[in-house]
Each structure stands twice: as C-alpha cells, then as structure tokens.
Structure 1
Amino acid sequence: MTFPARIDVHQHIVPPIWAETLAAHGLDSGGWAIPAWSPTDAIAMMDRQGIATGVLSVTAPGVHLGNDAQARDLARAVNEYGAEVVRDHPGRFGHFASVPLPDVDAALAETTHALDTLGADGVVLMSNAHGRYLGDPDFEPLWAEIDRRGATVFVHPAQPPMPLLPGTPAPLADYVFDTTRTALNLVLNGVMSRYPNMRVILSHGGGFLPYAAYRFSGLTSTVVDRDRDREAEDILRDLKRFYFDTALSASPSALPALLAFAEPGHVLYGSDWPFAPENAGTYYNHYLETYPDYAPGQAEAIDRGNAEALFPRLVR
C-alpha cells in the first residue's frame, strides 16, 4: 500500500481523564497496562500502516467503574475529548462515543448528546456491563433508540464476570470468549431480529463466532424468543447480521474462516492500536495484503469500501 487508504474501525484513544480515573481506582484493561497515547503518535503509526482514518474508541473497562454519577461525568468528558481530537484533525479521525451502561437512562442521554451535538460516528459498548450482557432485557430502550437512528455500534470485549486465568491477561483469551458470548446473547434474545436498522461491529473477527456459528445454530434448532419459535436458519441469519473487524484476526487460520462466514461487505479493517503493538499490526497487514483467495475487489473493500458504506462522511 503506497498511500494511506485504510479506515481503521478498531483504534483506541486514551483520554487523560480516563487514564487518570482508572489509575485512581487501581484498574487497567483486564490485566493489560494502559499505554501512552497522543494524536501525533497515532497519526505517525497510521501513516506507517497505510491508515487514512482511525475511528477511535475507549477500550475496556469502559467508563462505568461502579458509580452511576461518576460514570455519567466520565462518559461526557471522554466523549468531549474524542470530539475535540476529531475536530483538530479533519479526516484523520472519527470516534465512537462511550455510554455508561448499565445505567440505561444515562446511556440514552449520552447517546443523544454524542450523536446530535458531538457528531460521533456511533457508540461503543463493552461486551458486558458489570456482568450483564448486551441482550439483557433492561437494555432494550437503548437498542430501540440506536435502531431508530440507524446508528452503528462497536462492541468491544471486556473481562467476563469470572476470575482471570492465572498469569493470563483478559485480552489473551477472555476477550474473544466474551465477544462471542455477548453476540450469541444478542441473537438468542432477539435483539438482532427486532432491530434491523442498526449495524453492530464485533471486535477481533467476532471472537470465535465465525468458527462456531453453525454449531450455535445447529444446537439451537428451536429457541423460544418472546413467544415465538426460532429455527436454525433464523439464528444463522441473525448471526450473519454482524460486522467484523480484522484486529488481531487476519491470520492464516482465522481470516479464511471469517471470510467464509461473513456476509459480503461485513468485514472491516481494524488495528487495535495502541493496546496491540504496532508490530502486530505489521504482521496482520502483511497477511491481509498477501492473502491469495480474495474475491475480486474484496481486499480493497476490507481496507476502505465497507467502512465507507457504514460511515458515508468518510467517502472520498
């Protein structure tokens, strides 16, 4: 790639107030240290990796650290910071707004502010909110509002409600598990079928969802969903509604499975920088660029075209 073209839908921002708040609570990202970040460093990395635009998001543990009032304030501060970075660097950044689930009323208010006032490109949700997964019936008003707007949701994994494996930070194993868990929860609870206008991006190639999707649909041949039966093909159809990013997933084993499962137009480029080191991005980019079995135009669509369809303001 000779010039920056990619749209990176999985790139992280580290607002100073967020990093300081985590440190004050003795928190990190599932046993993973919070790295340094600046717009200058991000743009330098993007230029080296052929990325034109990074759509920024705050990673786990998100903005709700246990106190509703603090979560509302932190979400607002994080989102204002992200919007300022986007304004200061036209065309180089977008941002997904953080919302303080499981406080649904506050999440609705912040969604409205972020999309209407700050011009956010969508919202980021952690895969679970203090152990409550995204198909939780109490979260229905948020999904209804997101669907009403035809908005895009980026689902980032969080540490599941269980102890870490000894010596194993959550990003190594638990994150892919939790992405898969919340995606299946959204499908089995009918969220993906009730709300056809929203778009939901799953991190890291969807965890192991593409690999296991037919297991899920085959073993749930009839699942009760709000007084109606759902057959295997219904489950599979809703699993295929998801979009997937390639962050840490464009490998010789994972990429073929992802491309075999995902619907056309549903695979998007992702880097996971700076929580994933740049040398990881270089490795996965090489495989994306040399993969031998793309359909015509598929590589360019993953790099940019599929994201342009989700974010028309980035079309060039």
Structure 2
Amino acid sequence: MTDSARIDVHQHLIPPEQSRAISGRAAAFGWPAPAWDVRSAIAMMDRRSIATGVLSYAAPVGPPDDPAGARATARRVNDYTAELVKDRPDRFGHFAVLPLPDVDGALAEAAHALDELHADGVMVLSNLHGRYLGDPVFEPLWAELDARAAIVLIHPTAPPGTMLPDLPGPLVDFPYDTTRTALHLVVNGVPRRYPRIRMILPHAGGFLPYAAHRFACAGRLRPGTTPEDVLADLRRFYFDTAFAAGPATLPSLLAFAAPGHVLYGSDFPMVPEEWGTGFDAALDGHPHWDPGQLHAVNRGNAEALLPRLARG
C-alpha cells in the first residue's frame, strides 16, 4: 500500500480474562479461535499499514438473566480498553461495549465510557438475545446517543435459530443479521428520528447495498413512507470494508454508499490476518477508484468521522 496509513474502524481486542469465553464462542460457531495481545496487534498493524485501530469487544458481555454480571463485564472491558488507548493514543481508539439489552445499564455505561474514558464511540450487537435494534425498548438509548452525536458500530452476531450444518455462523449468518437489523432500524424510523448518530455497518453492510432497492419496497407497506424514504435512510449508514472488499462486493458498495461513508476495516483478530490481507490487496487493487477515493476509504473518511485521529 502506498497511500497514507489506514485508520481501521473495525478492530477487536480480547482482554486476558475474556480469552476463554471468546475461544468458546468461536468454537460454538465453528470459527478459528482468535488470539490477541497488544504487541501482536501492533505488529499486524505495521505489516498492513494500519496507523490506528479502533478497538471493540465483539461478543455479548453476559446472559440475558444476569444484568448485573453484564454491567460488571462491560465496565471491566471498557476500563481495560481505555488504558490501552491511554498508553498508545496514536495506535488505538475505543468503541465501548454496552451491557444491552439492559437499557438502564447501557445508558450508565455509555455515560461512563464517553464522559470519563473518552471513548470514540460505542459498539452494540445487531440483536440482543433475539431483540433487534429498532425495538421501541431501545428508544431511550438512541435518544441519549443522538444528544451526544455519538458514533455507533453495529457489530453482527448470530441471528435467532440454528446454524446451517458445516457453515460457520460468522461466515454465513453474520452478514444476514447486519442486513436484518439495519432494515429494522430504518423501517422503525430510528435513523430519521436521531440523525446526529453516525452508525457503522461492518462487512460492507452485509447484503444491504446489493439488495437496497428491493428492501426499499418496505416503504410501500407503511403509511406515510415511500421507497425513496427508505433508500435515503439506508444511505445514512456508514460501511466498513472488513472481510468484504471483493471484486463483486466493492462495486455494489461504492455505487450505493453516500460520499464519505465507506471506511477501512480489518476485523482482526476475528478474521485471521492471512485471510484479511487478501481483502486488503483487493481493496488496493480495485481498478475503478476515482481520484482520491482510495485514500478517503483508507483514511480520509475516518478522519472526518473521528477528528481525534486526524493528522495535523
């Protein structure tokens, strides 16, 4: 890569006390068990020309029947991540995890993370034990995050139901769940009511760019809404390139996303480095970049979204 060093908005960490839980979750999904530590993360970033990685914890922080445990885990993870960023603000950012579906706990943790830890935004999962993000129960959280003009990374998780045999959920089901929750948010009017929130959809938005005009027909089913309204609201999302910069995916994403709304992502270590580098090469080698567009995807768009990470 000859462009300016990337800003990676989709990079994960695994605090040492959470490593067993993450390995067990990966095994349950039929996915390679990830390993992570600060030194190996920085080495990976150097190899892939990533200047800064915005870290998030991409797993539930507790079962639905243990809200106190989820609150405690979220606090420990966020405090741990904030210390990493404090030590290396040049190399790391922080999207704080929230203990959803506990809305009161999420409101308290968002305030702690954004006000005291100076997190760059928050991360929520695409569904919370089967409850999707357009559900009215989450309205107080969206209102608070809108008041703060917060950035929200919506990370996919397993949808309700069983996995297909021999097909890992992160490979097949996660893009589906990203698509499902994005459309659920839009048809329930969340992005329109709370326009100051900037929401990032990983993995090129799942299937959303490719099928957006099909999904726009949802506007025909809701009084007072048009397909054009649905399309406009779907284009409010930001999208990252993690595990998605293929020659069939990029043209669809770039044709659909609003200008400035495509960001670089690696999904390390959940996507092994040897897999991710192939997608990096496809991103750099895409034959139809407009002038300056690749730099914008690799860095410029993230600088506009996260001014703290902008170079002087």
Structure 1 residues 164 and 138: alpha-carbon distance in aligned structure 2, compared to 1, 3 A threshold = same
- CA offsets 1:53-84 (integer angstroms, 9 cap, x no match): 00011113x21323101000000000011101
Q: Given the alignment of the two structures, is residue 9 of structure 1 paired with residue 9 of structure 2, yes or no?
A: yes
Structure 1 residue identity aligned to 2:94: H
Superposition pairs of residues 238-249 of structure 1, within 5 angstroms: 238-249=233-244
What's the secondary structure of 1:250's corresponding residue? coil
Structure 1, unpaired ranges of 5+: none
Shift of 1:4: 6.3
TM-score by length of 2: 0.96
Q: Tell me the alpha carbon deviations over residues 84-116 of structure 1, each in whole angstroms, 9 at most, x when there is no partner.
A: 111111210001000011000000000000000
Secondary structure of the equivalent of 1:167? coil
The residue identity in structure 2 corresponding to 1:167 is D
Q: 1:309 to 1:183 in 2, by over 3 A?
A: same
The 5 Å alignment of 1:94-173 reads: 94-173=93-172
Does the 8 Å contact 2:4/2:299 carry over to 1? no
Aligned to 2:62: 64
> How many Å separate the matches in 1 of 2:207 and 2:220?
20
2:18 is the counterpart of 1:18: yes
Contact 1:104 1:141 survives alignment (8 Å): yes
Q: Does 1:82 align with 2:81?
A: yes
3-state SS in 1 of match to 2:11: strand
Shift of 1:18: 2.2
Answer yes or no: is the 8 Å Cα contact 2:187–2:218 preserved in 1: no
Distance 2:33 2:105 in 1: 26
Quick one: which amino acid aligns to residue 86 of structure 1?
V
- Could you tell me which residue of structure 1 aligns to residue 191 of structure 2? 192
Paired amino acid for 2:140: P
The CA distance in 2 between the partners of 1:194 and 1:141, in whole Å, is 12
Q: Which amino acid aligns with 1:78?
A: V
Q: Name the counterpart of 1:52.
A: 51
Structure 2: how far apart are the matches of 1:277 and 1:111?
30
Counterpart CA distance in 2 for 1:235 and 1:2 is 38
TM superposition shift of 1:27: 3.7
Give the match's secondary structure for 1:160.
coil
2:266 is the alignment partner of 1:267: no
CA distance in structure 2 between the aligned counterparts of 1:4 and 1:74, rounded to whole angstroms = 36
Matches within 5 A, 1:214-225: 214-224=213-223
Q: Is the 8 A contact 2:4 2:298 kept in 1?
A: no
**Percent of aligned pairs with the same amino acid:** 60
| 2:12 and 2:269 in contact (8 A); partners too | yes
**1:8-53 superposed Cα distances (whole Å, 9 cap, x missing partner):** 0011100122224557xx5447343541111100000000001000
Partner SS, residue 271 of structure 2: coil
Q: Deviations over 1:255-292 (max 9, x none)?
A: 01000000000000000111111122211111111111
Instruction: Name the Cα RMSD after superposition.
Output: 1.4
TM-score, normalising length: structure 1: 0.94
